[in-house]
Amino acid sequence: MKELSSIKNEIILTGDRPTGRLHIGHYVGSLSQRVILQNNNTQYVLIADAQALTDNAENPEKIRENVIELALDYLAVGIDPNLTTIYIQSQIPEFMELTTYYLNLVNEGRLHRNPTIKTEVEQRKFADGVPVGFLVYPISQAADISGFKATFVPVGDDQKPMIEITNEIVRRFNRVYKTDCLKECRASIPPIGRLPGIDGQAKMSKSLDNCIYLADPSDILKKKVMGMFTDPNHLRVEDSGAVEGNPVFTYLDAFATDIDKVEDLKARYQHGGLGDVTVKLFLFDVLEEFMTPIRQQRTEYQKDLGEVWNILKKGTEVSRGVVAQTLTEVKEAMGINYF
């Protein structure tokens, strides 16, 4: 966190696909950073609905519903529309134009080598083959980033290949068209990394059904916490238990403010004589304290969805102006500004 507050005067661009509610893993991995970074930088956050459609073409309903859910999650955790410009990707046609020109600067083989795309293709098991739009989404992501001349893109490890391809396109464009209008960017990898699932699997993810969602009400939260995976060898209260790889303690490390208390619990757990239920009840209190204001803020905004759409509309207008300016420079550099 110390490192984060030293990041200043950057143009930051980041975002998410609107395919589901955000969970506490998202908070640890990205949302908490955005809340800090918005103070000293120019920050844009995109709701990547066009990208989400690349593997949901037959499900536009799902994407549309999640646009507003995602916006509510953002606002609930403290992404402040006065400090951060939140926008909807599909409403900025200039992105599609940029993508068209960038498509010509990338070889087909380069796309097939993208490790994130490879993994996603394996997971998705597309029945009729990979949609072309899906295969090329890294190129449209290069438009998302370069359209703002972003200098800093805080993303997880899986997005690193997208940053690489963005910088390749930027360098190639500037070289081929003898310009410096596009800018390379740096990726930042979250220092904390990812939160495990409540089932102990390495990743909290919707498809694994092991998430605590930011909007989960108290009773659901309690049920999830009390059912969490712990050390499977910690059978009796007297037994000594493992803290390493025990998600209950990983969550406490991420969310508890009383560090001394956590250290004390860890020591007693390892020594033997401390039951899982006691630790889980404490974790429930910790998460309840963390989530209560988030839920309240969400409920406030939910009462006035018109205002939320207004925030998105304004953010999209501002963003469109920025991207349109980049597109003008791109067309000038290419010499296709005829009129």
Residue ranges binding ligand TRP (CB under 6 A): 13-17, 46, 48, 51, 141, 144-145, 153, 155, 159
**Residue in 161, 61, 74, 77 with CA at minimum distance from that of residue 117:** 161
Q: Which is nearer to ligand TRP, 155 or 262 (CB)?
A: 155
From the CB of residue 14, how many other CB atoms can be counted at a distance below 10 Å? Answer: 23
Residue nearest to ligand TRP (CB): 48
Shortest Cβ distance from residue 169 to ligand TRP (Å)?
13
Q: Which is nearer to ligand TRP, 93 or 217 (CB)?
A: 93
Q: Which is nearer to ligand TRP, 208 or 226 (CB)?
A: 208
Please name the residue that has the structure tokens 């998600």. Answer: 247
Shortest Cβ distance from residue 57 to ligand TRP (Å)?
16
| 184 SS3 class | coil
Shortest Cβ distance from residue 187 to ligand TRP (Å)?
9
- Name the burial class of residue 140, with classes exposed (0-12), middle (13-18) and buried (19+) by CB atoms within 10 angstroms of its CB: buried
Alpha helices in 20-136 (DSSP H): 24-26, 32-37, 49-53, 60-77, 94-103, 108-112, 115-124, 132-135
Shortest Cβ distance from residue 277 to ligand TRP (Å)?
36
**Residue in 75, 63, 77, 79 with CA at minimum distance from that of residue 17:** 63
Q: Which is nearer to ligand TRP, 105 or 155 (CB)?
A: 155
The tokens of 190 are what?
Answer: 């979250």
Q: Which is nearer to ligand TRP, 155 or 225 (CB)?
A: 155
Distance CA 151, CA 70 (A): 24
Shortest Cβ distance from residue 117 to ligand TRP (Å)?
11
